[in-house]
Amino acid sequence: MSVKKKQPIVSSSHLVSEKSIELSELEYGLIIANNAFNRWIERCMTASGMPDLNPTDILILHNVNHRGRAKKVADICFNLNIEDTHTATYSLRKLVKLGLVETEKQGKENFFST
């Protein structure tokens, strides 16, 4: 009876070295979990009556609502690790247009709240 070697479950088998199989398996698991989470939050928002929001819009909405405090774009980007502020600004404009977020100017800064 021969023992069959277990094949790793990885996203990019050509990048796997014998020393980092577990890391590649973790990476693949994170990819699967991230995609599942994104589908889940989109479906939850659709069920609540907001079908046109993408995962970034939804995460920004939740971040704006977090702790019930108004937030600046820079704070939202920092909290969600968004490097391109234009991405966050676009989502915020969309959320304001839908009536889910309000904006208030304080000095030179815009603050967003739910």
Q: Specify the pLDDT at position 11.
A: 60
User: Residue 55 has what pLDDT?
Assistant: 96
Look at residue 29 in the predicted model and tell me its pLDDT: 87
Q: How many domains does the chain have?
A: 1
- Give the CATH number of the domain where residue 92 resides: 1.10.10.10
The answer as to whether 10 is a domain residue is: no
Q: Are strands 102-106 and 109-113 parallel, antiparallel or unpaired?
A: antiparallel
Q: Is residue 36 part of a domain?
A: yes
Query: Which two structure tokens, joined as six digits, stand for 43?
Result: 């479906």
Q: Is residue 12 part of a domain?
A: no
- Rounded to whole angstroms, the Cα distance separating 48 from 53 reads 11
pLDDT at 2 over 90: no
| 62 vs 24, more confident | 62
Domain of residue 58 covers 17-113
Q: What is the DSSP letter of 100?
A: S
pLDDT tens profile 61-73:
999 999 999 999 9
Query: Mean pLDDT across the chain, nearest whole number?
Result: 88
Q: Are 24 and 12 in contact (CB under 8 A)?
A: yes
Domain assignment present for residue 74? The answer is: yes
Distances (CA, A) of 85 to 34, 42, 74, 77, 102: 22, 22, 7, 7, 18
| 15 touches 24 (CB < 8 A) | yes
pLDDT at 104 over 70: yes
| Mean of pLDDT values over 91-110 | 95
pLDDT in tens, 30-77: 999 999 999 999 999 999 999 999 999 999 999 999 999 999 999 999
Sign, CA dihedral 35-36-37-39, equals positive
